[in-house]
Amino acid sequence: MVSLPERRYVITFGCRDRTGIVARISSFLAEHGGWIVEAAYHTDPTTSWFFTRQEVRADSLPFGVDELRTRFTEVARELGALPGSWRVTDTAERKRVVILVSKDKHCLYDLLGRVAAQELDVDVSAVIGNHAGMAWITRAHGIPFHHVPFPVNDPEGKQAAFAQLRQLVDAHEPHAVVLARFMQILPAELCADWAGRALNIHHSFLPSFVGARPYHQAHSRGVKLIGATCHYVTADLDEGPIIEQDVIRVDHADSVGDMVRKGRDIEKVVLARGLRWHLEDRVLVHGNQTVIF
């Protein structure tokens, strides 16, 4: 039995649907000895858009990832792929993450615990908080912590804080910027610059109960299910492409505090799942929708 190596090249690709797409990609890889170990396909009949994700054994190809990108460019051009609708990544490149936090600790604790337990294979380059209370737990994991206070009722001060935040984050060139209950609304220019990299966990089952205090909103409506949503950040508050969601049952006896406590369990799981899929290049975005392979 062949033991598959850890290192793989991952191709994610999207274009308008037509005949021959799978054949063209497969024949391209076969021509160079590419050994496909995982492949997934999907066509959206509403938009007539085709999606695929393929993993290829790196040692089966006679060239490296840079050459693979160069050669695959011609295939993408033949198939009519738009710029930014495909990419080739190397699993040997360790992904870097910067985590943004506020006062709530549960999501940060969970992510750092998963990294320490090697359940998430990622380098957390830094944690940045608008309150200093997370410094001790972050540094206990050997990760730098930066405190960037955001003044209240001071637009110029907040603008300066976001400028400092941008500088700190961009210095690490992260593959993901995780808003782990950051509780600050990113300005539009940051949303644009971090598009497809900034992930947020929202403590409701979107599109229900957007904005602040969703558990209070849910309690006042007497809902029987509460949930959490991991989504990409866009300039439209809580309306970015959804990566993952889950729910937990509540009933009439649950107070707002009970809902918050139960909801935190879901938030942690949903954020961890969404981040994992993002880091593994399993999320393909098309407009405001996603395909998860």
Query: Cα 176 from chain centroid?
Result: 6
Average pLDDT estimate for 258-283 = 95
pLDDT in tens, 97-117: 999 999 999 999 999 999 999
- What pLDDT is recorded for position 105? 94
Mean pLDDT of the chain, nearest integer: 94
Eight-class DSSP state of 132: G
Token digits of residue 268: 């942690």
Name the percent of the chain lying above pLDDT 90.
83
Reported pTM: 0.93
pLDDT greater than 70 at residue 56: yes
What is the model's pLDDT at position 204? 83
Structure token digits, residue 197: 């990299």
Query: How many CB atoms sit inside 10 A of residue 118's CB?
Result: 8
Token pair recorded at residue 14: 């999207």
Percent of the chain with pLDDT over 70: 98
| Whether 238 is catalytic | yes
Residue 1's pLDDT is what?
A: 45
pLDDT value of position 42: 97
Give residue 148's pLDDT. 97
Quote the pLDDT of residue 238.
87
Question: What band does 12 get if pLDDT is binned at 50, 70 and 90?
Answer: very high
70-99 in b/e form (b: 16+ CB < 10 A) is: eebeebbeebebeeebbebbebeeebbbbb
Please give the pLDDT value at position 220: 86
- pLDDT score, position 4: 46
Is a pLDDT exceeding 80 seen at residue 26?
yes
Preceding omega of 207 cis (within 30 degrees of 0) = yes
Options 110, 238, 254, 281, the catalytic residue:
238
Strand partners, 42: 51
DSSP symbols for 173-224: --SEEEESS---PPPHHHHHHTTTTEEEEESS-TTSS-SS-HHHHHHHHT-S
Domains of the chain: 8-90 (3.30.70.260), 96-292 (3.40.50.170)
The whole-number pLDDT of residue 129 equals: 97
- Tell me how far apart the alpha carbons of residues 34 and 56 are, in angstroms, rounded to a whole number: 6
**The pLDDT value given to residue 6:** 81
Residue of higher predicted confidence among 3 and 283: 283
pLDDT exceeds 80 at position 209: no
Task: Please compute the mean of the pLDDT values over residues 28-40 and round it to a whole number.
Answer: 97
Q: Span 231-244, mean pLDDT? A: 95
pLDDT of residue 254: 87
Q: pLDDT-based confidence at 241, cuts 50/70/90?
A: very high
Q: Grade residue 2 by pLDDT with cuts at 50, 70 and 90.
A: very low
Q: Which pLDDT tens digit goes with each residue over 127-143?
A: 999 999 999 999 999 99
